[in-house]
């Protein structure tokens, strides 16, 4: 038998095997009821392995909807019992199965993702100020912070995978906005160490500038001096780097309105003044003025390298200025030498 004949025979055998498996698999509810008992008996890890192996058999048989039903049920049940690692594992496997099945981004699937997301626990992060001479206090703090980081990492893995799936199978190219909003909100409220750059990247894709503005106002009341104006300028520039002038102006206006009473020093910041002038400049064809602003406010812009990167993107979007390739500059310097 030649190679082509062997390949055809192997394909036929595999197809017959899948068809036999498809016929042999029992109704999915039988597995769900059985696994629920295993979880309620306290055998959480054993149940996790069973959820994985049983759902894999349905995936092999290409009975994807039933595999998804098993994984969704398992994730919710484990999360309801406080087993975040187990629930997150199954939630991530749920999204992986969506990709294998090439399931479209639709309301039914998004409802399931919303349901799993709501079951991830929200536990107030303890204050970092403890009596360092008390070993028990220090131990409890370290344990609480470790658990919080683990929850955030698990939720992040799940939602990042869901965002990628939604972008590939019918949602916007940057991912479904509500998924970005979920992740941004959880990162802000639950993460022990706030990463406002990471949080902002999701908020600007969430199509909810009012919520983002409220979050930034809240951040102004809890951050170190000098972080507030940086976070606001970064947010506005991120919107502008996406060509979203409307939400950039909206968030700036909303923050100014809310910050007047609580933070009167807000408008005095050089970086905030630069951001306000920038928004006005971008409303007209004024590249020389744009460049002049960058020179005049260079010292405050240089506080964070990301701001210059965002401004380069803004110059390209609004004025057609091609970004300089960093490699060109490097090789140019080498050739000069």
> pLDDT confidence of 281, banded at 50, 70, 90?
very high
| 67: Cα within 13 Å, side-chain hemisphere | 24
Token readout for 312 is 């380069």
Cβ of 18: how many Cβ atoms within 10 Å? 14
56 Cβ contact list (under 8 Å, min separation 6): 67
For residues 148 and 191, the answer to whether their CB atoms sit within 8 Å is yes
% of residues, the chain, pLDDT over 70? 83
Which ranges of 120-204 would DSSP assign to H, the alpha helix? Answer: 135-168, 177-190, 196-203
**pLDDT at position 10:** 54
Cα 163 from Cα 284, distance rounded (Å): 35
Q: Which residue has the higher pLDDT, 55 or 262?
A: 55
- Report which of 178, 183, 156 is spatially closest to residue 166, judged by C-alpha positions: 178
Conformation bin of residue 170: beta by default, left when phi > 0, alpha when psi is -120 to 50? left
Cα 184 from Cα 81, distance rounded (Å): 25
Cα 175 from Cα 291, distance rounded (Å): 33
**pLDDT at position 263:** 67
Rg (CA), the chain: 26
Tell me the average pLDDT across 289-306: 96
**pLDDT at position 335:** 32
Token readout for 195 is 């990463």
For residues 202 and 174, the answer to whether their CB atoms sit within 8 Å is no
**pLDDT at position 126:** 61
Task: Please give the model's pTM, rounded to 2 decimal places.
Answer: 0.85
- Report which of 20, 94, 89, 113 is spatially closest to residue 55, judged by C-alpha positions: 94
Tell me the average pLDDT across 277-295: 95
Which domains are assigned to the chain?
205-326 (1.25.40.10)
| 238: Cα within 13 Å, side-chain hemisphere | 22
For residues 23 and 64, the answer to whether their CB atoms sit within 8 Å is no
SS3 content of the chain, % helix, strand, coil (to 5): 75, 0, 25
**pLDDT at position 323:** 76
% of residues, the chain, pLDDT over 90? 69
47 Cβ contact list (under 8 Å, min separation 6): 35, 38, 39, 74, 78, 86
Arithmetic mean of pLDDT over the chain: 87
Which of 15-19, 152-156, 158-162, 186-190 bottoms out in mean pLDDT, i.e. has the lowest? Answer: 15-19
Cα 329 from Cα 324, distance rounded (Å): 8
Segment holding 124, helix H or strand E:
none
216 Cβ contact list (under 8 Å, min separation 6): 228, 231, 232, 235, 251, 255
Tell me the average pLDDT across 122-128: 70
Q: Is the pLDDT of residue 283 over 60?
A: yes
Tell me the average pLDDT across 18-25: 56
Q: Give tens-digit pLDDT for 210-249.
A: 999 999 999 988 888 888 999 999 999 999 999 999 999 9
């Amino acid at each position: 038998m030649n190679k082509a004949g062997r390949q055809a025979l192997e394909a036929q055998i595999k197809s017959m095997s899948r068809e036999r498996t498809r016929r042999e698999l029992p109704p999915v509810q039988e597995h769900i009821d059985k696994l629920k008992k295993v979880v309620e008996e306290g055998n959480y890890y054993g149940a996790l392995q069973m959820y994985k192996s049983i759902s894999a058999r349905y995936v092999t048989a290409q009975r994807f909807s039933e595999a998804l039903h098993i994984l969704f049920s398992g994730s919710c049940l484990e999360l309801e019992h406080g087993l975040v690692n187990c629930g997150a594992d199954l939630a991530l496997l749920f999204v992986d199965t969506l990709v294998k099945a090439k399931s479209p981004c639709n309301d039914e699937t998004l409802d399931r993702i919303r349901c799993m997301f709501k079951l991830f626990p929200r536990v107030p992060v303890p204050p970092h100020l403890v009596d360092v001479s008390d070993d028990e206090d220090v131990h409890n703090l370290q344990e609480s912070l470790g658990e919080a980081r683990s929850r955030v990492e698990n939720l992040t893995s799940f939602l990042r995978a869901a965002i990628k799936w939604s972008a590939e199978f019918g949602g916007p190219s940057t991912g479904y906005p509500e998924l970005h909003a979920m992740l941004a909100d959880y990162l802000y409220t639950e993460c022990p160490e706030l990463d406002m750059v990471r949080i902002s990247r999701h908020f600007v894709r969430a199509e909810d500038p009012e919520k983002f503005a409220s979050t930034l106002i809240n951040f102004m009341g809890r951050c170190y001096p000098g972080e507030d104006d940086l976070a606001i300028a970064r947010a506005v520039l991120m919107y502008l780097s996406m060509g979203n002038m409307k939400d950039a102006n909206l968030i700036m206006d909303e923050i100014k309105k809310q910050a007047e009473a609580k933070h009167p020093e807000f408008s005095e910041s050089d970086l905030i003044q630069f951001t306000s002038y920038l928004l006005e400049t971008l409303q007209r064809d004024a590249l020389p003025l744009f460049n002049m602003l960058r020179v005049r406010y260079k010292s405050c812009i240089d506080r964070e390298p990301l701001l210059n990167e965002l401004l380069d993107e803004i110059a390209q979007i609004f004025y057609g200025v091609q970004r300089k390739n960093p490699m060109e500059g490097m090789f140019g310097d080498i050739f000069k030498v």
